[in-house]
Amino acid sequence: MRIVFMGTPDFAVSTLAEIVGTGHEVVACYTRAPAAGGRRGLDLVPSPVHRAAEKLGVPVLTPASLRTPEAAETFAAHEADVAVVVAYGRILPQNILDLPALGCLNLHASLLPRWRGAAPIQRAIMAGDAESGVAVMKMEAGLDTGPVGLVERVAIGPDMTAGELHDRLMIVGADLMGRALAALERGGLNFTPQPEDGVTYAAKIDKAETRIDWSRPATAVHDHIRGLSPFPGAWFELEGARVKVLRSTLATGSGAPGTVLADDLTIACGEGAVRLTEVQKAGSRAMPSGEFLRGAALEKGRVLA
């Protein structure tokens, strides 16, 4: 089939590679325009999908908007059978959605209708969900409201981080989209409307919610830490500097919230305790808690902010 691919971050790269590898003709790749970055923040850095598409020999387009007549004319000229959208980062207007003969398919990293929206991976872990997954949905004008064709479920381990779930869903999702396109090509991809019950929204992570609140139950603190790891990172303050917590585990013990209970970075929460197992000081690399403690005075009984 003739396919237009639309995506931006690392999560989308595996799906692009899967589509090219299975023999479809990717006639164009839409992605975010190069953004300021590099060591000094002065270079224009192309997106991961942009770099992958160039290596695969796929023409790249980076329009600032899809809502102009010129954008619609360019898109129509691709004469695509289907568009595949994976974390593109832009809303597709209805006139674009209507152009591919077989519609636009979106790979979404959740078990729809749970966690529609921008941050489904982080929100699933932060909420303590036992499973997540990926869904192939036929796009419509609403936010992740379209009917679903295929779903693959993935268990969320008790200490799994958002980064680990991201990497797992990235691979599972690429395979799922490959199977969805094969079914679509032979006319066997059937779509089921999403149920009205169970809808939740995965709002973008706000910096204001990243600070650890030790007054919450230990399970909630642990889910908060792993749901924000590795980025943007949950944190506490020590001697005026932020310390990110990248990994933790549930522990035994009790005390006033934020109290250091043992010399292994076990911290009391509102109910129970967590043990911090990997942390990162500002301007430093991530390190195991034992290494961190060799250079930080965190005596038993100290209360963390």
Q: Which residues are annotated as a binding site for (6S)-5,6,7,8-tetrahydrofolate?
A: 110-113
Q: Which residues are annotated as a binding site?
A: 110-113
Do 160 and 106 contact (CB within 8 A), yes or no?
no
Task: Give the integer Cα–Cα distance in Å for 261 and 74.
Answer: 62
Closest by CA position to 178, among listed 279, 300, 84, 42: 84
Task: Give the integer Cα–Cα distance in Å for 66 and 64.
Answer: 7
Task: Give the integer Cα–Cα distance in Å for 173 and 122.
Answer: 17
Closest by CA position to 238, among listed 302, 161, 170, 152: 302
Number of helices and strands (H, E) in the chain?
Answer: 8, 16
Residue 242 CB coordination number (10 Å): 15
